[in-house]
Amino acid sequence: MHNGMRPQDIVILPKITTIHNEGWQLKDLPSSLYISNSEVSESLERSVYAELIDFEKRHVRRGNLLDFPTHGVKYVFSAQAGMLIRGVPTAHSHHFMRVFISSEQAYVWPSASGIKLDFLSHIF
Which class for 106: exposed (0-12), middle (13-18), buried (19 or more C-beta within 10 A)?
Answer: middle
Q: What pTM did the predictor assign?
A: 0.60
Q: Assess if residue 23 is contained within a domain.
A: yes
> Alpha-carbon distance 85 to 83, whole Å?
6
Tell me: do 51 and 96 sit in the same domain. no
The total of structural domains in the chain comes to 2
Q: Assess if residue 30 is contained within a domain.
A: yes
Tell me: do 56 and 28 sit in the same domain. yes
Q: Three-state SS for 63?
A: helix
Tell me: do 15 and 59 sit in the same domain. yes
End-to-end CA distance of the chain: 34
Percent above pLDDT 70 for the chain: 86
Summarised one tens digit per residue, pLDDT across range 71-87 is: 887 777 766 677 777 88
Q: Assess if residue 82 is contained within a domain.
A: no
Q: Assess if residue 109 is contained within a domain.
A: yes
Residue 108 domain boundaries: 87-120
Q: Assess if residue 3 is contained within a domain.
A: no
